[in-house]
Structure 1
Amino acid sequence: ENGRSPDIVSAYSFNTGITLATEACQEKSNEIKAVPILLDKIDIAGKVVTADAMSMQKDIVEKIRKKGGDFLIELKANQPSLRYGVEDRLAGHTPVYSYSEDPVLAHGRIETRTYRIYDGLDIIADKEKWGGNMTVIEYESSTVKKSTGAYTSEKRLYVSSMPTHTPKPGIFVRNHWSIESMHWGLDYNLQQDNIKRKSTR
């Protein structure tokens, strides 16, 4: 329509490797509007929906809760009051539990991943906006480059509707990363980022 190549949002099943449904973003719209429509196409009851930070929106979180699913979404600066409020309050709280995974050697680097799980009750200020309490997951990666010994670290924050006693929620974090890595494949192999979004005619 109008010679336009729209962005398409997909619901992908990590366990089966199958795309369950898709929704094209309408002209002058975006992923935020497309995700709730996409969620109406699939049964997520009893399932965990992972999504990137753009999906940390009231309507999307509400839709997942109402359909009986759980979510795990990364916190970034698109929700600044939530992100930085959580970051500031974590310093005064003790995690419900924490654990580290065995070091992984890949791409010439040794990486150790640590997860700290917090009850969001006293950490998240505007719980009502998000439909109730959430669990906060702090992920920390410590990496040593094998050839030089150079050390780097990185922290990320996630929020989830899953209870704090969920065993090893880092599994869901890693599963989502494996899906995000497909974006690299699309760009590297198919040069997706170079596709013109508007017709040149």
Structure 2
Amino acid sequence: MLSPGPNSACSADSFPDESTVRKALGKVEMRAFHSQLYDWLSGSSGSKSLAVDGKTLKASRDGNGRQIHVLSAITHGDAQPMGDTPVDHKGSEIDEIRPLLDSIDIRGKIVTVDALHSTKDFAAWLKGKEADYVFPMKGNRKKLIDRLDMLNIKENSYSKASTQDRGHGREDKRTLYLMKELPFWLNFPTAEQAFIIERESIIKKSGKVRREQVYGLTSLKDADAALLLQLNRGHWTVENKMFYVRDVTFNEDRSSIRSGSFPHLMITLRNVIMGLFKKKGRLQIAKTIRSCLYGKDTDLGYHFSKI
């Protein structure tokens, strides 16, 4: 797809002009393109946990003038992109998350999602795929939260774990309490354990304290509180190591590309570029892009030629 120049695979003077790139990409069959790129990346991550979340592109529009929304999957920890799919809007993620995960081998993996997807049906679907889950429960599951509240998880917990972090002008403490042997009346058949996370944030400048708690369920039978707290925090890999990089380094939210499949295609390319860099141990994305542009990283050019 991309061929290296004679001197440097990443040399800027070897790139075709914009109109040529647009014409070539406009002829791409998106399904095959998407499948080949992510299949190529999929074997490079050893992570057993996978985060799925959606993002709206602020500047892009589809043919009906609606903002483009894309659902993406990324591994925890090493932040390797595993797949993405366009959706109509945030609410329609529910219809598209299963086809997205069907395109990925999730057997033996732990899937984390936001509260929108924390349903019995989706939990049963994941278990049918031989995958596990960690689900947060928020206001959209009020009846279930009421039943979880009746469990008195904190008082009946058998495992507890805490973390403390400082940064961005605040100090955060998170504590997770874990309970097993759930009663039948909870009415969530695949759940093996229930948990509650208490978070306390102190704003250093003002001294203001903010407290919140989140309930959750997991199909992991033998996980302790420390692992579940790690998985809960690991879910934000998709925000911190994918969406943030696409916004800041690739200036994604300012992209006005809007015709046909181009917005989705460009998201896939950004994800795959990040995945390629990480696959080769280049964790500083912006620095690696500069090295590539100035012809200082010929090794990456070789791998681009193999995509």
What TM-score do you get using the length of structure 1 for normalisation? 0.79
Give unpaired runs (5+ residues) of structure 1: 197-201
Native 8 Å contact 1:89 1:123 kept in 2: no
Native 8 Å contact 2:154 2:177 kept in 1: no
1:187: Cα distance to partner?
A: 6.5
Task: For 1:16 and 1:136, locate their aligned partners in 2 and report how far apart those are by CA, in whole Å.
Answer: 27
1:61: Cα distance to partner?
A: 1.3
* Amino acid across the alignment from 2:213: K
Aligned to 1:172: 231
Aligned to 2:187: 126
Aligned to 1:54: 116
Task: For 2:162 and 2:136, locate their aligned partners in 1 and report how far apart those are by CA, in whole Å.
Answer: 19
What root-mean-square deviation, in Å, do the aligned CA atoms of Structure 1 and Structure 2 show? 3.2
* Amino acid across the alignment from 1:177: W
Q: Note if 1:149 corresponds to 2:149.
A: no
Stretch of structure 1 that moved more, 181-190 or 70-79: 181-190
Task: For 2:219 and 2:193, locate their aligned partners in 1 and report how far apart those are by CA, in whole Å.
Answer: 6
2:174 to 100, 113, 116: 113
Figure out how many residues of one structure are paired with residues of the other and give that number: 192
- Give CA-to-partner distance per residue, 1:138-190, whole Å, 9 cap, x none: 11112222233332222112211112543511110111123234556666754
Aligned to 2:101: 39
Aligned to 2:74: 12
The structure whose residues are more often helix, as a share, is 2
| Greater gyration radius | 2
What TM-score do you get using the length of structure 2 for normalisation? 0.54
1:87: Cα distance to partner?
A: 2.2
Task: For 1:19 and 1:72, locate their aligned partners in 2 and report how far apart those are by CA, in whole Å.
Answer: 19
Give unpaired runs (5+ residues) of structure 2: 1-61, 259-307
Native 8 Å contact 2:161 2:225 kept in 1: no
Q: Name the CA shift for 1:15/1:142 in 2 (closer, same or farther; >3 Å).
A: closer
Task: For 1:53 and 1:175, locate their aligned partners in 2 and report how far apart those are by CA, in whole Å.
Answer: 15
The structure whose residues are more often strand, as a share, is 1
Q: Note if 1:22 corresponds to 2:81.
A: no
Aligned to 2:193: 135
Task: For 1:120 and 1:62, locate their aligned partners in 2 and report how far apart those are by CA, in whole Å.
Answer: 18
Task: For 2:194 and 2:96, locate their aligned partners in 1 and report how far apart those are by CA, in whole Å.
Answer: 26
* SS of alignment partner, residue 16 of structure 1: coil
